[in-house]
Chain A
Amino acid sequence: MNAPIRRSFNSNGVQTVWDSTSLKRADTCPRKYQYEMIEGWTSPYHSVHLWFGSIYASSLELFHKLCAAGEERELAIREVIRHALVESWNHDRDSEGNRIPGTGSPARFDHATKNRETLIRTIVWYFDHFAEDHYSTYLTHEGKAAVEFSFQLPVDNNLTLSGHIDRLCVDSESNLFVHDQKTTGTTIGPHYFKSFKPDIQFSLYTLAAKIIYNAPVKGVIIDAAQIAVGFSRFGRSPMLHTDDELNEFYDETMALIEQTQAYTRENYFPRRTTSCGNYGGCVFREVCSRPPQVRENFLKADFVKGKLWDPMEAR
């Protein structure tokens, strides 16, 4: 059987379209990039954080989209809550992938704080917390609301940078920002926000928004939600990026891609052992700690080959 075509890779298997996920993997560890991005190894267990975060982000994105289209705020909130309830229900699907009414059951998150109920609670509380929002959705020169857009930005060396921006917003002094959401189990404070600078995703989004909208985008506004058993608490912070910082990011990104492409061509992906212990430990640490000749067996035992990552795939 032929391998599925990945539009983000050339015929030699070298990645040419890069999003923040693949850039982060390459930056963290070339071997991790190989296992996840090139070979498609993934944990057989669903990541509750990914699931929770993606439904949460898509819900808030829908809200801004509805409001930008003129929907009344309270009706938009109801629509969003229904959306989140549907997205967190495991329906059976028909041959075209559509949900079949009357089937399935509530999705089980199996997590103490991130579950279906705290998801809906967090969405409702978010809207009430930020009811007096000082940021409004940016309207482009053509009068279109800048919400929910995927970008593919051609850059040097026949490369493309890609990503998905939820919303571009503007403050009362006409400063533009990319708007993004994060959820966490930890307390939100200055220390939490410091972890987002430097950050590949937000530098990339600022750079892309600046070029695509041809507007002076200052950085990213992060709305963070702390999810606890008994409450959801929110914080907001801007992450500003100067032109010099963005130029530096661009040069470093080009160098990172060039290096990773060279690794791919040589099929040699060295382990970056200084990253093994980050964020509670790399999922491949057990594999990398074994002798090279048995690593494949450990990969097959603890991981499955999932859907291959393709930044060109529309979200």
Chain B
Amino acid sequence: MTELSEIFERDPLSLTKDSPEIEAAIRAFRDMRYKFNLGDTRAGSVKPKAPAKTKEVKGLDISDLELKI
């Protein structure tokens, strides 16, 4: 399926009302509306989602615990 961002980058004069791209765009926005109606208030956002920040887990060494044995 054509990505929404790809459709928006395409010269619209190359499209007709029967183009699958137009249909795909409508479908994508309808899917967003469906999610919005289920309670996702960000569902209609077309901004690319930033990757979730993950904290790098450092390998643990027994000496890090500074145990006095």
Contacts and interface: CB of A to CB of B under 8 A. Distances in A.
A245 to B, nearest CB: 38
A127 B23 CA distance: 14
Interface in A102-116: 102-104, 106, 116
A118 B45 CA distance: 8
Nearest to B26: A124
Interface in B10-69: 11-19, 22-23, 25-26, 29-30, 32-33, 36, 40-47
A99 B45 CA distance: 30
A120 B41 contact: no
Interface residues of A, number: 29
B45 A229 contact: yes
Interface residues of B, number: 29
A30 to B, nearest CB: 43
A120 B44 CA distance: 11
A78 B17 CA distance: 5
Nearest to B13: A101
B44 A85 contact: no
For the residues of A in contact with B, the DSSP-based class is helix
B44 to A, nearest CB: 4
A25 interface: no
Nearest to A227: B44
Closest 9 pairs between A and B when the two form their complex, measured CB to CB: A85-B12, A230-B42, A117-B46, A124-B29, A78-B17, A101-B13, A230-B45, A79-B17, A231-B44
Interface of A: 75, 77-79, 81-82, 85-86, 89, 91, 99, 101-104, 106, 116-118, 120-121, 124-125, 128, 228-232
14 contacts: A77-B26, A78-B23, A81-B22, A82-B16, A82-B17, A91-B11, A101-B14, A102-B13, A104-B11, A106-B8, A106-B9, A124-B29, A230-B44, A231-B43
